[in-house]
Amino acid sequence: MSESLFDQASERLAQAIAHVPISEDAIERLKSPKASLQVSIPVRMDDGTLKVFQGYRVRYNDLRGPTKGGIRFHPSVNMDEVKSLAFWMTFKCAAVNLPFGGAKGGVAVDPKQLSKFELERLSRGYIDAIADFMGADVDIPAPDVQTNPTIMGWMVDQYSTIQRKLCPAAITGKPLAMGGSIGRETATGLGAFFAIETLMPLLKMEREQTTVAVQGFGNVGAAIADLMSKAGYKVVAVSDSKGGIYSEKGLDVPSIINYKQSARKFQAVYCQDSVCNIVEHKTISNAELLQLDVDILIPAALENQITEVNADLIRAKYIFEVANGPVTPAADAILEKKGIMVFPDILINAGGVTVSYFEWVQNRSGFYWTLSEVNDRLKQSMVAETLRIWEIANEKQISMRTAAYVHALSRLSEAIEAKGTRDYYIQ
């Protein structure tokens, strides 16, 4: 039987425990989620038929604060995936020192097959089903794969209707007009960029001589590709769900983004066009993109993209995980033997949840920050935590992934021990 995604996620914890003095109580508390919910969401379709979609929400751990995590709409969503993502969020929030625990949610659906009306009914129906499971002091959802500010707006409006009062802090990633934070939509890509920029001098790499391939050209992948291109890196390949394009001389990323944006203008909420329709390029598959001989590979799509099956074919010098869980534990071992350094998702893509935290703070205070204030605070956080995790990796002679988990686990352990452990009670 193949290993579940949650089993893979748990291996990260086991590797970190060996490098942190931690109580048995802490280990037990982190082995399983605090609460899991599976719901059925009936939706009246435009043709009058009724379809029932399966939805999920997992609150993994709230020792450091209310749980936080995105909602994804994707056909592959299931409880194992959502539980694993909630696990990762727990460690991500601790790694960048946010006062949150980890959560995640999703609906098993291909949103591209729904009309805008059906998508809105599904979004509101999901909130109807989980309303008793969430709230600004309990669990705060946000956007994730194939969800966006429009969908978050529908969701927070539905939650506010249920509560009979405005509840902007209950959901982040909202439209600005509904209490969203400026800078939230690009935060994941920008946070990754800040981490990469912090690490480049430590790796003795120069922008103009660094080639980059980005797998995934949604909001996050497009943002990081654009930022790196404008900063002087040579972005030679990008891809979306339908395939990719490659040019050894480098791509004109802003033009690709403009094409994608113009192609989607008649496509409701989602873009159904592929970057493969851009002219003057070599067409490649997602698998081929992962195997390109580049300096930096950025997986920015879904989990389990680099596994024991293709890890030996990876030729990039460095991998920066902008997606959640794109590299499996088995692949990690192979990449390490090949001398390929992996910078983990719980650090690299933490910009999104960091600015979600900023949005939550602004909603609760009623005082809103400028874009420069948001970005400066994000940069300060990402630089500080990246440098600390780099120091831990070098001090303990461990991988950056294990160092990130060690860093997070230390903070989680402190929260657990503050409430009393076995050692306290048997003294």
Residue 126 and residue 95 in contact, taking contact as beta carbons nearer than 8 Å:
no
Quote the domain boundaries for residue 240.
Answer: 181-427
| Residues contacting residue 242 through CB under 8 Å, at least 6 positions apart | 274, 275, 276
Q: What 3-state DSSP class applies to 281? A: coil
- Residue 287 tokens read as 């698998």
Long-range CB contacts (< 8 A, 24+ apart) of 311-316? 311/335, 311/338, 312/338, 314/290, 314/338, 314/340, 315/291, 316/213, 316/292, 316/340
Residue 338 and residue 312 in contact, taking contact as beta carbons nearer than 8 Å:
yes
- Is 104 tagged catalytic? yes
pLDDT digits (tens, 9 = 90+) for 137-190: 999 999 998 999 999 999 999 999 999 999 999 999 999 999 999 999 899 999
CA separation for the pair 217, 275 (Å, rounded): 8
Per-state percent for the chain, helix, strand, coil, to nearest 5: 50, 20, 35
Q: Helices 351-365 and 187-199 meet at what angle, rounded to 10? A: 130
pLDDT of residue 182: 95
pLDDT of residue 7: 80
Which 8-state DSSP code applies to residue 2? P
Residues 167 and 186 in one domain: no
Q: Which residue among 68, 92, 104, 174 is the active-site one? A: 104
CA separation for the pair 101, 118 (Å, rounded): 32
What is the pLDDT confidence band of residue 387, given thresholds at 50, 70 and 90? very high
pLDDT of residue 265: 35
Domain boundary among 178, 211, 236: 178
| Residues contacting residue 44 through CB under 8 Å, at least 6 positions apart | 50, 121
Residues 198 and 263 in one domain: yes
CA separation for the pair 232, 298 (Å, rounded): 16
- Residue 284 tokens read as 């490649």
Instruction: Examine residue 6 and state whether it is found in any structural domain, yes or no.
Output: no
Domain boundary among 178, 200, 230: 178
Q: 35-44 and 211-215: which strand pairing?
A: unpaired
User: Over 50: is that where the pLDDT of 224 sits?
Assistant: yes
CA separation for the pair 363, 344 (Å, rounded): 30
Phi-psi map region of 108: left, alpha, beta (phi>0 left; psi -120 to 50 alpha) = beta
Give backbone dihedrals phi and psi of 181, rounded to 5 degrees, phi first.
Answer: -95, 135
Instruction: Examine residue 310 and state whether it is found in any structural domain, yes or no.
Output: yes
Residues 265 and 121 in one domain: no
- Residue 73 tokens read as 């709409």
Give DSSP secondary structure letters for 140-182: EEEE-TT--HHHHHHHHHHHHHHHTS--GGGS-S--GGGTPPT
CA angle 232, 235, 237 (to 5 degrees): 175
Residues 288 and 424 in one domain: yes
pLDDT of residue 129: 98
Instruction: Examine residue 147 and state whether it is found in any structural domain, yes or no.
Output: yes
* CATH classification at residue 208: 3.40.50.720
| Residues contacting residue 120 through CB under 8 Å, at least 6 positions apart | 154
The half-sphere exposure of 362 on its side-chain side, counting CA atoms within 13 A, is: 25
pTM value is: 0.89
* CATH classification at residue 40: 3.40.50.10860
Instruction: Examine residue 26 and state whether it is found in any structural domain, yes or no.
Output: no
Residues 210 and 295 in one domain: yes
pLDDT digits (tens, 9 = 90+) for 71-123: 999 999 999 999 999 999 999 999 999 999 999 999 999 999 999 999 999 99
CA separation for the pair 270, 48 (Å, rounded): 23
The number of distinct structural domains making up the chain is: 2
CA separation for the pair 219, 422 (Å, rounded): 46
Q: For the chain, what is the mean pLDDT?
A: 90
Residues 53 and 170 in one domain: yes
CA separation for the pair 278, 259 (Å, rounded): 8
Residue 356 and residue 102 in contact, taking contact as beta carbons nearer than 8 Å:
no
What is the pLDDT confidence band of residue 424, given thresholds at 50, 70 and 90? low
The residue-averaged pLDDT of 44-53 equals 97
Instruction: Examine residue 394 and state whether it is found in any structural domain, yes or no.
Output: yes
Residues 237 and 140 in one domain: no
Instruction: Examine residue 10 and state whether it is found in any structural domain, yes or no.
Output: no
